[in-house]
Structure 1
Amino acid sequence: MVRTLLVRGLLLGLLAGLIAGGFAFAFGEPRVDSAIALEEAAAATAHEEAPDHSHGEEAEVSRPAQKAGLFLATGLYGLAVGGIFALVYAGLRGRVGPRTDGPLALAAAGTAFVAVILVPFVKYPANPPAVGDPETINSRTLLYVVMILVGLAATAIAVATARRVTAGPWARWVATALAFLVPVVAAWALLPSINEVPDGFPATLLWEFRLASLGTQLVFWAAFGVLFGWVSDRAARATASAPVGAAPGG
């Protein structure tokens, strides 16, 4: 069963990654082009003011190649995430969440999106080219990973709380929400903020890029959750309707 789920996760993760790549190509790449144009204009102006000052090498990979590579990147991302999700899903079945496969897949995908994507994004949203100091990339990456760990830990605490509270559905939901939000909000408040947006950078472009970045992740997790849940439900119904003693898939 685990092998079947793993293959399912890999294939559907790849498909969801390509779907998300299409969204990023349509809505994210135009914003990247605009940000690169601003960066190049600023570099040209600086070069005119200081012609002897070097501003680095030209991009080794052309924009057409980068755009084509976008689908490779999102496809590989989908493969990796789909495989990990399938293994986690195999451990959750019958233990946590809804008892049927489809709703469990949707609940798990939604929870993963909130914990791994939305929680760190609220504190440290994505930035387009020309935004961010290259010298702080290591510290920014570390802080982003810390927020991912906080989201995962908060999710684990919330699940444990939901299983322990038996006073009623409303009390359980309130306790679960508080168990999740308290560590997340504390991390949002205590971790240092990062604001490296240069003066004069168009706020509309920054906002649109961040929406496209978050939208790409939302499309991926929504597509993957729906696909994985639908296929899992169909497989479960096929297994339940198979004659007793029949070989699976026979």
Structure 2
Amino acid sequence: MTVSAETTPYPLLPLLGRGLAAGGLAGLASGLFSLLLAEPLMDRAIGLEEKRAAAASGGGHAHAAEAEELFTRGTQHLGLVVTAVVVGLALGVFFTLAYVLLYRAPRHGPASTWKRGTGLACAGFLALSLLPGLRYPANPPGVGDGGTVTERQGLWLAALVIGVLGLVLARHLYVRGERAGHGLPARQLTAAGVVVATLAALFLLPDNPDAVPVPAALLWDFRVLSLAAHVLLWTVLGTVFATLAARQARGEGVQRDPVR
């Protein structure tokens, strides 16, 4: 009986360990980036929101909110980094599961493993960060009516679902075209058309229900830094995971001859 590397499934547990390591490092890098660059903008936005609330209530509301503050800003800063690491770990697990489900078995050795890992990270950034972020850009904390939190979360979740479904469809049509013998430009154009249609579908969703009473320059800087944090998160995740997975594939001899 002949068993080829193409039909031998990925060992899940070693890959999960590598996914956790990649996700943890990605979350730490993203959290530190946000702490050092985006957090000062958050502090400014929170200060502006407190002044606006104080002006609207004659100063009493801001004083009460300040008295009821449970955590200092220093504690919140630490919580930002810890939360980013936890989110990165969870993302690393889901990333590994998606990798195994999509590719099922090693193919053509470490070079292909690297391409698959970084390619999946690019797709994840596009589906879960860039496309939803174009429809609902990030806003500084404290901005928005507390009564619309559930509505805003629902809209963001819908944007994530549409983004993922759009990328799944784009990949399906690309692979189907490859199997049908279509040329590379045709497959690329088809996938790009699906991505554009996905973005159009996102803009059919309702607008953000809340106004953003923040100076335009501050808002722009915050959104750019938020997107940059996502770029860093997915870059580190994909690069570290692909590097570790390729090393694992090389160590297991994925390029070996079929074993009888």
> Considering the TM-score relative to the shorter chain, is it more than 0.5?
yes
Equivalent of 1:207, from 197, 220, 224? 220
Distance 1:68 1:5 in 2: 29
Distance 2:54 2:173 in 1: 57
**Contact persistence 2:38–2:226 (CA under 8 A):** yes
So what's the TM-score if we normalise by structure 2? Answer: 0.84
**Contact persistence 1:43–1:55 (CA under 8 A):** no
Distance 1:53 1:9 in 2: 44
Aligned residues: 241
Letter in 1 for 2:31: G
Letter in 1 for 2:239: V
Task: Give the aligned partner of residue 48 of structure 1.
Answer: 58
So what's the TM-score if we normalise by structure 1? Answer: 0.88
The question of 1:192 aligning with 2:206 is answered yes
Relative to structure 2, which stretch is displaced further, 71-80 or 174-183?
174-183
Task: Give the aligned partner of residue 20 of structure 1.
Answer: 30
Distance 2:190 2:107 in 1: 16
The question of 1:102 aligning with 2:138 is answered no
Letter in 2 for 1:138: T
Letter in 1 for 2:135: K
Task: Give the aligned partner of residue 221 of structure 1.
Answer: 234
**Contact persistence 1:15–1:78 (CA under 8 A):** yes
Aligned counterparts, 1:103-118, within 5 A: 103-118=115-130
Identity across matched positions, percent = 33
Task: Give the aligned partner of residue 86 of structure 1.
Answer: 96
Task: State the Cα deviation string for residues 203-238 of structure 1 (Å, max 9, x = none).
Answer: 111111111111111111101111111111122122
Change (3 A) 1:117 1:243: closer
**Contact persistence 2:113–2:242 (CA under 8 A):** yes
Letter in 1 for 2:81: F
Structure of higher RCO (CA pairs closer than 8 Å, 6+ residues apart): 2
Task: Give the aligned partner of residue 125 of structure 1.
Answer: 137
Residue 45 of structure 1: CA displacement? Answer: 2.7
- Moved >6 Å (runs of 4+): 95-99, 241-244
| Cα RMSD after superposing both structures | 2.6
Task: State the Cα deviation string for residues 5-39 of structure 1 (Å, max 9, x = none).
Answer: 11111122111111111111111100011011112
Distance 1:106 1:115 in 2: 14
Task: State the Cα deviation string for residues 68-99 of structure 1 (Å, max 9, x = none).
Answer: 11111011001100011111111222579997
Relative to structure 2, which stretch is displaced further, 136-145 or 163-172?
163-172
Change (3 A) 1:53 1:61: closer
Letter in 2 for 1:167: H
**Contact persistence 2:106–2:113 (CA under 8 A):** no
State the SS of the aligned residue for 2:252.
Answer: helix
Distance 2:58 2:223 in 1: 31
Gaps of 5+ in 2: 1-10
Task: State the Cα deviation string for residues 96-154 of structure 1 (Å, max 9, x = none).
Answer: 99971111000000100100111111111111134211111111110110011001111
State the SS of the aligned residue for 2:58.
Answer: helix
The question of 1:235 aligning with 2:248 is answered yes
Change (3 A) 1:53 1:68: closer
The question of 1:168 aligning with 2:183 is answered yes
Distance 2:15 2:28 in 1: 20
**Contact persistence 2:106–2:254 (CA under 8 A):** no
**Contact persistence 1:97–1:104 (CA under 8 A):** no
Distance 2:209 2:113 in 1: 42
